[in-house]
Structure 1
Amino acid sequence: MTDKFLKSLSFIFHPLFMPLLGVIFYFSKTPRFVAPDVVKAKLISLFILTILLPILLYFFLKVLGKVKSFYLTTTKERVYPLLLNCIINLIIIQRILPPTESIELYFFFLGILISSMTCLMLAIMKFKASIHLIGISGLTMFFIALSVHFSINIVGTLSVMTLVLGAVATSRLHVKAHVAVELVVGFFIGVLPQLILIPYWL
């Protein structure tokens, strides 16, 4: 039972879901009025770009023989998916979430782009940082920044995120997807870009 639970965490808290979760959380907490139609359009666009498109591109890369499994177990398999993810995030910050519309989300995705580029460079250098930890730690840092920015109390949410972060790290170790140093590096790759960019919008 414990084995299945730990393995399931890797799917439930997959990195693909983290950007969209950040946007949903932002729209649920922002004190600014945003027309429901605008919110809906943004969420649909981001769902397509951050979840559906990467899945379709994965199957395309698999057909081409560039990746072998959904887990991207080797650094070589990670290069093309990470490169495409960088391009997708660049499109998002230029077309979907420009700074003139939402400065917070713009810098959130800019941080994601920096994290993805860093992870890509490390993959090229044969180092496999944990993308799961990058996603969750970056999202948690964004939540913390929003709580300060909007002066809201989200202690419960942050407590849950901390537990999830620890559980996912345990899961990745349990399935032998990473060693400890790869998890630690992934954590900092996720947190630091968000932290460094905070002064530009907070």
Structure 2
Amino acid sequence: MKNHILKGISFVFHPLIMPLLGVLFYFSKTPRFIPEPVRNAKIFSIVILTIILPILLFFLLKTINKVNSIYLRSTRERLIPLFINCVIVLLILLRVLPSNEIFELYYFFLGILCSTLACFFMAVFKVKASIHMIAASGFFMFAVALGIHYQININGTIALMMIVLGAIATSRLHLKAHTNQELIIGMLTGLFPQLLCMNYWL
């Protein structure tokens, strides 16, 4: 039972959903007026590009034996998916969330791009970082920044995300997917780019 719960945590909080959670959190908290059709169009585009497209590409890569599982356990397996993800995020920055429209989300995805590039280069040099922790800690830092930026109380979100981060780390350790060091590297790789990007919009 415990094993199934921890596997479920890794699945529910998969890195693919974190960019969408960041977008949804932003739209739920921002006091700026953004027309509903614009919001819906942005959300729809993010779902297509960050969830549906990567899943389809994963099955393609699996068919041609470039990856074995969705968890990308080896650094070699990670190279092509991470490179593809960098291209997708760059496309989002150029076409979906340019800096002159919603600058907070632009810098959120710029941070995601930096984290993904860092993870890619680490994989090139056979260094493995937890992508789960990269994605979750990046979202956590963005949520904290939004709370500061808009001067709103997000203590509940912060507490919940700390629990989620702990649950993800426990899950990855229990499933022997990562070591403590890989989890820490992942968390820092997710946090620091968001911290750096905060200087440009906070």
Q: Give the shorter-chain TM-score range.
A: over 0.9
Give yes or no for the alignment of 1:137 onto 2:137.
Answer: yes
Give yes or no for the alignment of 1:89 onto 2:89.
Answer: yes
5+ unaligned residues in a row in structure 2: which ranges?
none
5+ unaligned residues in a row in structure 1: which ranges?
none
- Distance in 2 separating the partners of 1:17 and 1:126: 26
Give yes or no for the alignment of 1:163 onto 2:163.
Answer: yes
Structure 2 SS opposite 1:58: helix
TM-score by length of 2: 0.99
Corresponding residue for residue 117 of structure 1 = 117
Corresponding residue for residue 108 of structure 1 = 108
Corresponding residue for residue 43 of structure 2 = 43
Structure 2 SS opposite 1:153: coil
- Of stretches 66-75 and 174-183 in structure 1, the one that deviates more from structure 2 is 66-75
- Of stretches 59-68 and 37-46 in structure 1, the one that deviates more from structure 2 is 59-68
**After the TM superposition, which parts of structure 1 deviate over 4 Å for at least 4 consecutive aligned residues?**
none
Deviations 1:11-51 (A, max 9, x none): 00000000000000000110000000000000000000000
Once the two structures are TM-superposed, the CA of residue 6 in structure 1 deviates from its matched residue by 1.1
CA RMSD of aligned residues (A): 0.6
- Distance in 1 separating the partners of 2:166 and 2:187: 11
- Distance in 1 separating the partners of 2:14 and 2:70: 11
- Distance in 1 separating the partners of 2:98 and 2:149: 19
Corresponding residue for residue 154 of structure 1 = 154
Corresponding residue for residue 67 of structure 1 = 67
Structure 1 SS opposite 2:178: coil
Deviations 1:165-194 (A, max 9, x none): 001000000000000000000000000000
What is the aligned length?
202
Give identity over the alignment, percent: 56
Once the two structures are TM-superposed, the CA of residue 82 in structure 1 deviates from its matched residue by 0.2
- Distance in 1 separating the partners of 2:111 and 2:95: 16
